[in-house]
């Protein structure tokens, strides 16, 4: 098992290499010159040329790339922002806690609400209860985050004055953004739980369990749910990963200072260094989350655990 985890950790290195190369190449070869953006529409061409020289943008692609990777690996230095000259690593670390808190709380809420919803729906497939639960979860998935966030602000901040509309420090400030971000994941988790439950329910060992006279509750929550959890865990892992990088809209509606807004601003301003640093970080966390999911499989499913031995 430990050997397996170690091996998986080693895999992070080539993944990060690949990600950094792709991001670097995309940013390098896309149109739009960082120096022009930094200096604005009223800058003199000589000033732009001088800044390009200073930023090292005139050097060949490969030289730029390896210099970047060298600094990142050996000095833990991701460079300084083109725009405000602050160290990129600092810019990321300031915002990382907010993003992790937001994504973590949202995925927890989504799991706590989503799994029971899925279980309830699967108990009597195609009944009114099932249809209602699935309709609600579909609504959660399909409602645009943007619209939903503003709606919550209108009702709970402006009308009822229960929660503030911006910020992310106190628990009151966290309520609305977490609900907004969680609602689409709740839908996905509920739907996958339901279908996975239905799959397991039809299998022979469940009939056997029922025939042995085990209580309904035990059959559902121990025998069926435990076996149905594998795909659910996968989905939760994937959702968490995408929430880390994909919370942009929620962050921007509630003025939360997170990685998403940092990245979007950086992309707009052609702040290559920040974009690269941010993507590398998200890729790193994403790989770790995937690793955790795989390890969790082993704990949930003895069949998988036995393969590691």
Partner 1 sequence: MRFRKSKLVLVLVTLGVFLTACSTGGGGTGGKDTLTVASSADAVTFDIQNTNDQATTRVARQMYEPLIQQNDALELVPGLAESWTALDDTTYEFKLKKDVKFHNGEPFTAKDVEYTMKRAAESEQIGHIVGELDVSKIKVVDDYTIQLGTKEPFGPFLTHLAHPATAILNEKAVTEGGEDYGTNPVGTGPYKFASWIAGSEINVERFEDYHGTPGATEKIKFKVIKENSVRLISLETGEIDIAYDIAPSDIAKVEENKDLTMLKDPNLSTGYIGFNVQSDTPIKDVKVRQAINYAIDVDAILSTVYQGVGSKANGPLNHLVFGADKNPLGYEYDVEKAKALLTEAGYPTGGFTLKLYVGDNNAQRIAIAEIVKEELSKLGITVEITQLEWATYLDATGKGEHDLFILGWTTITTDADYGLYPLFHSSEFGKAGNRSFYKNERVDELLDKGKSTVNPDERLAIYKEAQELISVDAPWIFVNDGENDTAISNKVKGFAHHPSGSHFLSGVSVED
Torsion region of 68: left, alpha or beta (phi above 0 gives left; psi -120 to 50 gives alpha): alpha
Nearer to partner 1, 34 or 237 (CB): 34
Nearer to partner 1, 50 or 208 (CB): 50
Q: How far is the CB of 281 from partner 1 (least distance, A)?
A: 16
Distances (CA, A) of 73 to 81, 90, 230, 263: 18, 16, 36, 21
Biggest alpha carbon–alpha carbon distance for the chain: 85
d(Cα 224, Cα 201) in Å, to the nearest integer?
6
Please answer whether residues 146 and 154 qualify as being in contact, where contact means their C-beta atoms are separated by less than 8 angstroms.
no
Residues ≥6 apart with Cβ < 8 Å to 29: none
Q: How far is the CB of 57 from partner 1 (least distance, A)?
A: 13
- In 3-state terms, what secondary structure has residue 87? strand
Q: How far is the CB of 19 from partner 1 (least distance, A)?
A: 22
Q: How far is the CB of 147 from partner 1 (least distance, A)?
A: 11
Residues engaged in binding partner 1 (CB under 8 A): 30-34, 36-45, 47-48, 50-51, 80, 83-86, 91, 94-95, 150, 153-154, 157-158, 161, 164-166, 252-255, 257, 261-262, 265, 268-270
Nearer to partner 1, 84 or 127 (CB): 84
Nearer to partner 1, 43 or 206 (CB): 43
Q: How far is the CB of 45 from partner 1 (least distance, A)?
A: 6
d(Cα 91, Cα 76) in Å, to the nearest integer?
14
d(Cα 179, Cα 299) in Å, to the nearest integer?
29
Nearer to partner 1, 158 or 211 (CB): 158
């Amino acid at each position: 098992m430990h050997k397996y985890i170690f091996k998986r950790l080693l895999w992070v290195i080539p993944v990060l290499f690949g990600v950094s190369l792709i991001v670097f190449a995309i940013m390098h070869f896309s149109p739009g010159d960082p120096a022009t953006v930094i200096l604005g529409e009223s800058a003199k061409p000589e000033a732009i040329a001088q800044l390009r020289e200073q930023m090292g943008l005139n050097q060949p692609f490969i030289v730029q790339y390896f210099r970047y990777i060298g600094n990142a690996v050996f000095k833990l230095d991701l460079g300084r922002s083109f725009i405000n000259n602050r160290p990129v690593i600092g810019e990321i670390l300031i915002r990382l806690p907010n993003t992790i808190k937001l994504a973590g709380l949202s995925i927890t809420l989504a799991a706590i609400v989503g799994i029971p919803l899925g279980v309830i729906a699967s108990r009597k497939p195609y009944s009114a209860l099932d249809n209602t639960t699935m309709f609600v979860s579909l609504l959660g998935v399909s409602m645009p985050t943007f619209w939903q966030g503003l709606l919550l602000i209108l009702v709970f901040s402006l009308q009822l004055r229960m929660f503030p509309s911006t910020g992310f420090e106190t628990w009151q400030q966290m309520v609305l953004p977490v609900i907004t971000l969680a609602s689409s994941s709740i839908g996905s988790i509920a739907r996958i739980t339901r279908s996975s439950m239905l799959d397991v329910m039809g299998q022979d060992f469940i009939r056997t369990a029922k025939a042995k006279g085990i209580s309904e509750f035990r059959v559902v929550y121990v025998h069926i749910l435990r076996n149905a959890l594998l795909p659910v865990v996968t989905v939760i892992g994937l959702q968490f990963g995408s929430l880390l990088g994909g919370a942009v809209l929620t962050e921007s509606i509630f003025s939360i200072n997170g990685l998403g807004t940092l990245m979007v601003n950086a992309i707009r301003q052609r702040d290559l260094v920040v974009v690269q640093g941010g993507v590398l970080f998200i890729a790193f966390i994403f790989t770790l989350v995937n690793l955790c999911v795989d390890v969790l499989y082993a704990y949930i499913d003895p069949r998988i655990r036995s393969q590691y031995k």
